[in-house]
């Protein structure tokens, strides 16, 4: 059986700088994998290449979702096939209430999949339930998306969107940074609630603390644009103790 | 030099040309070689106003410049009026003039629609608006001209003491279109809010020119114009606020912000504040930018097509202007207009 996400020898560059080189990663359905690695290693770049952000040039290798070529698809087509990215730096969208934005996104995905659109009342019910689960003030959703939100509020908004959009592959890029201790726990619970046999997650983080809550099935070390080591959850503890030095040497 | 003069005399020599400072971005002389014949008297049925639904009013209709010459609202009365300026004759020229006057303490809500039943027209309309002491007028202008039309509309507004004028002009442009506002704070303590919104595509052109004169103390002007240009379209914003000697304690604000959505579209802006009085508080801002690529990707990552995401962001960008409309019905009409324009 092939994995839900299969990345093989992926190489990519941005503005003539090679960032990813021969990166391979296999993420089976139902599993949660953590990616750790030094600043500038290419973690966000990987998340951008997988989601199709313009400006990145794939120079080799492939990425397959459910054994289908992911890299050939437009970003919105990847989204409607279930690829979700919780952004390291969520974007502010002035003039658009978060609710309007989220409903438009959900219905765009449903339409692309040939499903019926969700009605306004059903949508509100869904969002209310998910927001309550994340202990979010519902009134915040009437404000312009992310405008004037604190760092932690933005990250919570990302997880709310994930809960509503119910992706197959969720990539969380440093969703834990900027969260206070309570928010970290709430967000982690939100993530755990989404664990499902047909859903996989790639959790990019710098901190063991998040992994105490979200017990990953595997931990990968990304350094110098490729995966240089993989192991069980204990690998994260090793990293916390020893730092990245020996892996950075490996990458060189 | 004016289009009206040229139309009335049939002499293109009267057309404003780009050699005149005030018309340098809206050249009519270079565009029109021969003036069209005057529009024949209109006979036929007019369509119902498309925006009448949520707006119960008395209707004033002017077809190709012909119709009632004035609207007078007596002291203390309140009215809701729909003023329809209709271009009916294809390829014809017309000149019109209408007066809207509110006596002291009168109030009115005015929905002014520029409608076209045919294309190729060349017209100029002047609207003389006067507000007596403490009168209050809220106006929404929907300028729906044809892409092959030439259209000039001049609003000449005079505010007496304590009058309040709240104006919003929404346009999609024309082959050449000028929506000009001349406003005078004549007797002090009056307030004007001038909102403008343009959405231009294809080869359309729109020119929002305004001259706001503060002649007396303690008045406020707040102007906000936002717009987008796509295709090979061109937007012109010329805003001038003149605070004359003695117009102390004036509060004047001007903002113009545009998004350029294509490499071949153009925005020309000239904001000017001239102040010859004391204790004046002023602010102005002018920005021309492009759609934020990060925001565009964010929306696409959430599943919106590129076209939908662009429409979404541009609508969001301009819609802030409509927040300044205070009348709920006008607000609804304006939002519906924008939604129609934003549909991808
Ligand atoms: N547009 C760009 N032009 C040139 N270099 C870029 C560009 N974008 C990213 N890079 C470089 O690519 C490298 C990888 O960046 P990336 O954001 O993927 O790192 P990261 O592993 O996510 O780091 P962090 O832990 O700090 O978030 C960095 O050296 C960065 O400077
Ligand atoms: Mg990063």
A243 vs B108, more confident? B108
Q: What does the domain layout of chain A look like in residue ranges?
A: 5-251
Q: Residues with beta carbon inside 6 Å of ligand 1?
A: A 14-15, 17, 19, 37, 39-45, 88
Count of Cβ atoms closer than 10 Å to residue A197 Cβ: 8
Mean pLDDT taken over chain A: 93
The beta strands (E) that lie in chain B are given as 58-63, 70-73, 78-87, 93-102, 107-116, 122-131, 136-143, 150-159, 164-171, 176-185, 191-200, 205-214, 220-229, 234-243, 251-260, 266-275, 281-289
Cα R_g (chain B), whole angstroms: 20
- Helix, strand, or coil (residue A16): coil
Average of per-residue pLDDT across A152-168 = 94
Residue B235 CA neighbour count, 13 Å, CB half: 30
Pick the residue from chain A with its C-alpha nearest to B316. A95
Split at pLDDT 50, 70, 90, the class of B343 is low
Average of per-residue pLDDT across B183-204 = 97
Q: Any CB–CB contact under 8 A between A149 and chain B?
A: no
Split at pLDDT 50, 70, 90, the class of B53 is low
pLDDT at B25 over 60: yes
Contacts of B303 in chain A (CB under 8 A): 76, 79-80, 105-106, 108-109, 112, 165
pLDDT of residue B54: 61
Average of per-residue pLDDT across A227-236 = 93
Average of per-residue pLDDT across B71-82 = 95
Starting from the CA of residue A48, give the closest ligand: 1
Q: What percent of chain B has pLDDT over 90?
A: 90
pLDDT digits (tens, 9 = 90+) for A1-16: 579 999 999 999 999 8
- pTM higher than 0.95: no
Nearest CA to ligand 1 atom 16: A42
In sequence order, the β-bridge partners of residue B237 are B208, B269
Which residues are CB-neighbours of B65 under 8 A, at least 6 positions away?
B39, B94, B95, B96, B97, B123, B125
DSSP letter assigned to residue A232: S
pLDDT digits (tens, 9 = 90+) for A104-118: 999 999 999 999 999
pLDDT digits (tens, 9 = 90+) for B123-156: 999 999 999 999 999 999 999 999 999 999 999 9
Cα R_g (chain A), whole angstroms: 18
Q: Any CB–CB contact under 8 A between A126 and chain B?
A: no
Query: Taking the domain A5-251, which CATH number applies?
Result: 3.40.50.300
> How far apart are the C-alpha atoms of A112 and A76, rounded to whole Å?
9
A203-224 burial by CB neighbour count: b if 16+ within 10 A, else e? Answer: bbbbebebbeebebebbbbbbb
Mean pLDDT taken over chain B: 94
The whole-angstrom distance between B322's CA and the closest CA on chain A is 11
Pick the residue from chain A with its C-alpha nearest to B322. A95
> How far apart are the C-alpha atoms of B192 and B147, rounded to whole Å?
31
pLDDT of residue A95: 84
């Amino acid at each position: 059986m092939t994995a839900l996400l299969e990345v093989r020898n992926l190489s990519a560059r941005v503005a003539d700088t090679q960032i990813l080189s021969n990166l391979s990663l296999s993420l089976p359905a139902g599993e949660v994998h953590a990616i750790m690695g030094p600043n500038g290693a290419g973690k966000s770049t990987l998340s951008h290449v997988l989601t199709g952000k313009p400006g990145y040039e794939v120079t080799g290798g492939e990425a397959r979702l459910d054994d289908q070529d992911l890299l050939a698809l437009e970003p919105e087509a990847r989204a409607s096939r279930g690829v979700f990215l919780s952004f390291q730096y969520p974007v502010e969208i002035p003039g658009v209430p978060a609710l309007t934005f989220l409903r438009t996104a959900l219905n765009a995905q449903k339409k692309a999949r040939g499903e019926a659109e969700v009605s306004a009342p059903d949508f509100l019910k869904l969002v209310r339930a998910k927001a309550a689960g994340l202990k979010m003030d519902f009134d915040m959703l009437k404000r312009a998306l992310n405008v004037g939100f604190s760092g932690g509020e933005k990250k919570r908004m990302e997880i709310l969107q994930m809960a509503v959009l119910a992706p197959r592959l969720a990539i969380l890029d440093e969703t834990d940074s900027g969260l206070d201790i309570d928010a970290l726990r709430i967000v982690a619970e939100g993530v755990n609630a989404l664990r499902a046999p047909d859903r996989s997650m790639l959790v990019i983080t710098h901190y063991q603390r998040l992994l105490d809550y979200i017990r990953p099935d595997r931990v990968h070390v990304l350094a110098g644009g490729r995966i240089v080591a993989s192991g069980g959850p204990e690998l994260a503890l090793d990293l916390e103790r020893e730092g990245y030095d020996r892996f950075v040497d490996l990458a060189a | 030099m004016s289009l009206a003069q040229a139309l009335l005399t049939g002499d293109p020599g009267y057309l404003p040309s780009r050699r005149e400072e005030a018309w340098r971005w809206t050249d009519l002389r270079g565009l029109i070689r021969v003036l069209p014949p005057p529009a024949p008297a209109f006979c036929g049925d007019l369509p119902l106003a498309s925006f009448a639904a949520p707006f119960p009013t008395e209707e004033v209709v002017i077809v190709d410049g012909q119709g009632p010459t004035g609207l007078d609202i007596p002291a203390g009365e309140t009215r809701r009026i729909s003023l329809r300026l209709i271009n009916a004759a294809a390829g014809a020229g017309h000149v019109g003039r209408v007066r809207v006057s509110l006596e002291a303490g009168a109030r009115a809500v005015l929905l002014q629609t520029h409608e076209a039943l045919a294309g190729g027209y060349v017209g100029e309309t002047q609207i003389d608006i006067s507000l007596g002491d403490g009168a209050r007028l809220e106006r929404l202008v929907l300028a729906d001209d044809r892409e092959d039309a030439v259209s000039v509309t001049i609003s000449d507004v005079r505010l007496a003491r304590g009058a309040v004028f709240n104006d919003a002009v929404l346009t999609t442009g024309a082959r050449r279109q000028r929506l000009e506002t001349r406003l005078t704070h004549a007797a002090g303590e009056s307030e004007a809010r001038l909102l403008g919104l343009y959405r231009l595509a294809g080869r359309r052109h729109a020119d929002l020119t305004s001259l706001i004169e503060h002649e007396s103390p303690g008045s406020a002007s707040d102007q906000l114009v936002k717009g987008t240009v796509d295709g090979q379209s061109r937007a012109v914003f010329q805003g001038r606020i003149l605070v004359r000697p003695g117009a102390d304690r004036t509060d004047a604000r001007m903002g113009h912000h545009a998004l350029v959505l294509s490499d071949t579209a153009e925005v020309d802006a000239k904001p000017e504040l001239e102040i010859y009085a004391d204790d004046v508080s002023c602010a102005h801002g002018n920005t021309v930018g492009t759609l934020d690529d990060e925001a565009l990707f964010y929306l696409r990552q959430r599943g919106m097509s590129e076209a939908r995401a662009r429409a979404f962001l541009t609508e969001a960008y301009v819609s802030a202007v409509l927040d300044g409309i205070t009348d709920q019905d006008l607000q609804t009409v304006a939002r519906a207009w924008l939604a129609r324009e934003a549909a991808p």
